[in-house]
Amino acid sequence: MHNLLDRFLGYVRIETRPDDNNTSSPSSISQMLFAERLAEELEKIGMHEVTLDGNGYIMATLPANNGAETPVIGFIAHMDTSPEAPSAGINPLVHDNYDGKDIVLNTGRNIILSPTDFPELSSYTGQTIITTDGTTLLGADDKAGIAEIVTACEQMIANPSLRHGRIRVAFTPDEEIGRGADNFNVRRFGADYAYTLDGGGISELEYENFNAAAATVEVKGRSVHPGTAKDAMINSIMVAGHLDSLLPQRERPEFTEGYEGFFHLYDIRGSVEETLMKYIIRDHDPVKFSERKKHLNEAVAETGRRFPGASVRVVMKDQYFNMKEIIEANYHIIEAAVKAYRMAGVEPVIKPVRGGTDGARLSFMGLPCPNLFTGGHNYHGRFEYIPLQSMEKAVEVIINLCISVNK
């Protein structure tokens, strides 16, 4: 599948970082430019009804060729990459016939991707591994999903003997900042159900995700010359540190797994006068999720009492909820995915998403939408990588769903 590799390498070189401070959709010009390129490509490979709206949402159709009335299946991926890591000037590296040992990403900076740090890497010995050069993320989240969907459609168009019903595809902006479904028109998309291609390593199949909230804490102190600061200065940085210490220290992402939730302080910027803290709050269990939000509110209140001269305020917003209940009511779409995986020689591993996807919100908007693997690992950082063979299997799974889901 040379088209798959070339397509993916071309996509990741295009910077599509979102801008959380911009309320427009898409939040960055680069995403719209990428969307325009994708729309042209979809038309070129023979897709029908290709549209790109003013909010940066692409939709397209692969018409049915099976001559039967069957449900419409959709496939969705997002165009933006994580804002948490550098993403400009991405230089993907292709390592053929990986030998199972350390991969030197950057000789000058001595940046090494090692199976010692990431043991699952060695399981891909003999395969083609695509990595960063150690200075940026790769962008497989979710350029891999886009490349896999486009490649699958291209192959079905080129092979009309692959009989399928009507297929809809969509590519969305701003998923990484929680807005991927904000302007998604479910009715116009017109699918009975869909799958996001936004998962991790090969074999993952997910229909449970975190309940999620974002919180911004603003701490205002008082700046006084340090020589005369006694009983007068209120250092907002120290106040912020106290607040964070009131949260469970072992309930952070680096200490949790599986169904364990967390508080994640992912950005803090400040001075004596003012400090801004940004948290995300996650839990699969709705009761525990509510308790976490209450805990942060209580920590803010307690910090305000501890430092009466400071101003400590929090703004909290729910982002998405666990789609489990929606998918379980439509469990046949999981059964169809399991069948498609096994047809591709992949034994599915059903596990919870330790994150979110557009599919979580779309499921509550009337479009049941579990999550399929893309094949990538170590998303959102410079050690991100993806095996080409896993991407090829994802393409097979998409095609298998299309040709067998309605049999």
Q: Which residues pair with 27 in a beta bridge?
A: none
Tens-digit pLDDT profile for residues 360-376? 999 999 999 999 999 99
Can you tell me the mean pLDDT for 203-208? Answer: 95
Q: Which residue has the tokens 């699958």?
A: 152
Q: Is the pLDDT of residue 405 over 70?
A: no
CB 12 within 8 A of CB 143: yes
| Burial of 231 (C-beta count, 10 Å sphere; 0-12/13-18/19+) | exposed
- pLDDT computed for residue 192 by the predictor: 97
- pLDDT computed for residue 355 by the predictor: 78
Helix segments in 221-372, DSSP class H: 236-245, 286-306, 324-328, 332-343, 358-364
CA distance 359 to 369: 5
In the chain, what percentage of residues exceed pLDDT 90? 93
Does this model's pTM top 0.75? yes
Could you tell me the pLDDT band of residue 353, with boundaries at 50, 70 and 90? Answer: confident
Can you tell me the mean pLDDT for 56-77? Answer: 96
84 or 284: which carries more pLDDT confidence?
A: 284
Can you tell me the mean pLDDT for 242-264? Answer: 96
- pLDDT computed for residue 356 by the predictor: 75
User: What are the residue ranges spanned by the domains of the chain?
Assistant: 2-209+322-404, 211-320
357 or 360: which carries more pLDDT confidence?
A: 360
Q: Known catalytic residues? A: 80, 175
CA-based max dimension of the chain: 84
- pLDDT computed for residue 84 by the predictor: 84
Could you tell me the pLDDT band of residue 9, with boundaries at 50, 70 and 90? Answer: very high
Can you tell me the mean pLDDT for 332-347? Answer: 97
Instruction: Please write down the long-range contacts of 95-100, taking CB distance under 8 Å and 24 or more positions apart.
Output: 95/128, 95/129, 95/130, 95/131, 96/128, 97/126, 97/127, 97/128, 98/124, 98/125, 98/126, 98/127, 98/128, 98/129, 99/125, 100/125, 100/126
> How does DSSP assign 199-226, residue by residue?
E-STTEEE----EEEEEEEEEE-B---G
- What is the chain's mean pLDDT, rounded? 95
- pLDDT computed for residue 2 by the predictor: 60
Fold of the domain spanning 211-320: Alpha-Beta Plaits (3.30.70)
Q: Are strands 193-199 and 73-78 parallel, antiparallel or unpaired?
A: parallel
- pLDDT computed for residue 85 by the predictor: 87
Q: Is the pLDDT of residue 14 over 70?
A: yes
Q: Is the pLDDT of residue 105 over 90?
A: yes
Tens-digit pLDDT profile for residues 114-133? 999 999 999 999 999 999 99
Q: Is the pLDDT of residue 1 over 60?
A: no
Can you tell me the mean pLDDT for 316-339? Answer: 95
Q: Is the pLDDT of residue 354 over 90?
A: no
Fold of the domain spanning 2-209+322-404: Aminopeptidase (3.40.630)
Tens-digit pLDDT profile for residues 270-301? 999 999 999 999 999 999 999 999 999 999 99
Could you tell me the pLDDT band of residue 38, with boundaries at 50, 70 and 90? Answer: very high
